[in-house]
Structure 1
Amino acid sequence: MMTLQVDNHGDIPETMRAAVLFGPGDIRVIEKPVPKPGPGEVLVKVAECGMCGTDLKIYDGHFPGTPPYGAFTPGHEWTGTVVALGDTVDELAVGDRVCIEAHHGCGRCENCLAGKYTMCLNYGDSAKGQRASGMTADGGFAEYVVHYASSLYKMADSISFKDAVLITTAGTGLFGLDSAGGYVVGQDVAIFGGGPVGLMTVQLAKQLGAEKVILCDIDQNRLDLGKTLGADHVINSSETDPVKAILDLTGGLGVHLAIDSAGAASIPDLLLHCTRRGGKLLLIAFYAKPVTLDLAKAIREGIQIHTSRGEGGGDVARALHLAEMGRLRCGELVTHEFPLENIADALSIVRSHEGDPIKVAIKF
């Protein structure tokens, strides 16, 4: 059944404005029917939806598993207000403000049963219940979106919708740290990439007790921001050899954990050469082309290589709790907001970095 909202937002309309992908580089705002939540699902009125590099890959037609052109609405970093409940939902109520975990597994495959729902073996199979909002199912570049209640988290009043866009991003960094063992107390961590994921990971590493957090990027403004967010050292890798600088900062040993949140094909090998013997690499970025890595060195020196995808492990909820405790700075990283009608312009800013954006978002 569908419980219509009764709060001051008014009745739910039959149709909504939504951005639909009609082909590579062709996104249009059209009228679509407002979706209806099924059992275990809720309908959310979207307040804001962030953008990241994954959205560019989807926009360009280079992301696997997306639905057919002409119907699919992207957007996976959305937040908003619950306006209707599907049958069996009692975890949330109409009027709740929520942030999102984009991935929801089928709940029946071997990986899901082991808690690895971002690696669902039925990825892309909506008939079996898998949903990755804005990737394998319609997402948040629309006025309304349906999602599973179990992948939404009610927010305290202290958390704004602008904050919530970055909480999803923080979940990505936290899931990566979790996947690499999570225990960084007293350790040195290097993060390559001062974009939203990297900047949230800087904060997370400090909150988890890292000794030295070192941020590397080619954009000095992002490095300066990283310093205010908790980075102990920043390295402009367009001016300085980052490997030498990191080795100098760590007494020649290298860091315990080196993280790539940027996605340039050259970075993983740089990580390897600034990581100490017995240390770890963590790759949480997507790469546009194959990566060359000195695996012989990794094997000789016992360096472990970890990867993670998205914001699994329940880590959006953990990131939300950190933000509610005042331990994450989120909303100030949203530097550019656009109305839905200007979504192509917003995507262009994400690609070109014109105006030095950190997080670009669609605001309703």
Structure 2
Amino acid sequence: MTDTQTLAAAGDTAIPDVMRAAVLFGPGDLRVVDRPVPQPERHQVLVRVAMCGTCATDLKLVDGHFPQTPPFGEFTPGHEWTGTVAALGEGVDEFAVGDRVCIEVHAGCGRCDNCLVGRYTACLNYGRPAKGQRASGITVNGGFAEYAVHDIKALYKLPDQVSFEDSVLITTAGTGLYGIDVAGGYMAGQDVVVIGPGPVGLMTVQLCKQLAARRVILVGTREARLRLGAELGADELVNVREVDAVARVRELTGGDGADWVIESSGGSGVPQQCVEMTKRGGRIVFVAFYPGPVTMDLSAVVRNDITMYTSRGEGGNNVKRAVAMAATGKLRGAELVTHRFPLEDIAEAFRVVRERDGDPIKVVLVP
């Protein structure tokens, strides 16, 4: 019996020695192969993965265009996963075998200046697992596998009423909530624009409504996603293929512009639109990544006393807050899961994501 099986024996959980995992062997060369089941180290748990979501970052990872990942032939991506605790590492008493859990991607080193003030998604030891930093599916192996290990400081128990489909979007919700948190958090009675009705944007729409925004305006290009945004709480929809987004936002806000603009689309021309649709003295929050440098009128930002904020990932303990919101039914993720594939069909899943075949919102892999 392996050490992992010994650890799990109390929960009568049979853990094999070998599992199926998607391993990146080179740019575009992602194969599902046999790999040893990993052993949880001190302050880690082993999780039986229930499902793992895909996103645009995974496309960059698979294409080999993402820094600080483990070497080809060793690396399993997947950073949006959820599952059930199968075994406990040394020193773990916060969780029990059988607990349903969701994750934060980032576990900071806990020793650098940024981690010590809670900015662990900007850990100064990012990409150095030997120093204690772990970004699941990015700097260490992740969730495109039957089992994954994870640090307990980036793990949360799921309430019974929160499904795995909901929880696979909770990390995504944490990204939007962290951006709001960084920008001050308080938006009660204010007008908010969310640009980009992808998973981050659609979860952020719900967050803004729960934070008592007066009006949430969702801006995007795909009508079906905009309609889903309305079902999730958006008060106004702006299809940029049909109207001038800046003019429409100005119209909806009495000519002043929005108090908040939250940019989650990653479109190269969108930052300038953000500047033009933000109220004098308002805020712009950037949570997206961009394919290259962007251009914006910074003088207009200064002239209009607009404050710009950026945030990376799901930091600031905001996944914990998102779990609490999901537990009360105020944050819905399952409706965004549009496609499910078995792990063995990961190549087809990524084709669907890349080609947007069938207008996927969240594609998940089920081991």
Matches of 1:243 and 1:9 in 2, distance apart?
A: 59
1:126 aligns with 2:148: no
- CA deviations over 1:250-299 (Å, ceiling 9, x no partner): 01100011111110111111011000111111110111111101101001
1:328 aligns with 2:331: yes
1:50 aligns with 2:53: yes
Contact 2:7/2:89, CA 8 A, preserved across alignment: no
Contact 2:197/2:226, CA 8 A, preserved across alignment: yes
**Which structure 1 segments of 5+ residues have no match?**
none
Amino acid in structure 2 at the alignment position of 1:344 = A
Q: 1:213 aligns with which of 211, 216, 234?
A: 216
1:355 aligns with 2:358: yes
Give 1:182 deviation, angstroms.
0.7
1:4 match: secondary structure: helix
Aligned length: 364
1:261 aligns with 2:247: no
Where does residue 42 of structure 2 map in the other structure? 39
Contact 1:193/1:260, CA 8 A, preserved across alignment: yes
Contact 1:4/1:11, CA 8 A, preserved across alignment: no
Q: Give me the CA root mean square deviation.
A: 1.1
Amino acid in structure 2 at the alignment position of 1:110 = D
Percentage of pairs with the same residue: 59
Matches of 2:25 and 2:265 in 1, distance apart?
A: 28
Mean CA deviation greater in 341-350 or 111-120: 341-350
Contact 1:7/1:95, CA 8 A, preserved across alignment: no
Matches of 1:6 and 1:261 in 2, distance apart?
A: 44
Matches of 1:123 and 1:212 in 2, distance apart?
A: 38
1:138 aligns with 2:141: yes
Where does residue 249 of structure 2 map in the other structure? 246
Give 1:351 deviation, angstroms.
1.6
Matches of 1:239 and 1:351 in 2, distance apart?
A: 25
2:168 match: secondary structure: helix
Q: 1:165 aligns with which of 143, 148, 168?
A: 168
Matches of 2:14 and 2:158 in 1, distance apart?
A: 23
Give 1:344 deviation, angstroms.
1.4
Matches of 2:346 and 2:55 in 1, distance apart?
A: 13
> Equivalences for 1:335-350 in 2 at 5 Å?
335-350=338-353
Give 1:5 deviation, angstroms.
2.0
Matches of 1:10 and 1:248 in 2, distance apart?
A: 59
> Structure 1 residues 267, 9: closer, same or farther in 2, change over 3 A?
farther
Contact 2:11/2:98, CA 8 A, preserved across alignment: no
Matches of 2:66 and 2:12 in 1, distance apart?
A: 35
Matches of 2:298 and 2:167 in 1, distance apart?
A: 38
2:228 match: secondary structure: helix
Matches of 1:7 and 1:353 in 2, distance apart?
A: 45
1:5 match: secondary structure: helix
Give 1:10 deviation, angstroms.
3.8
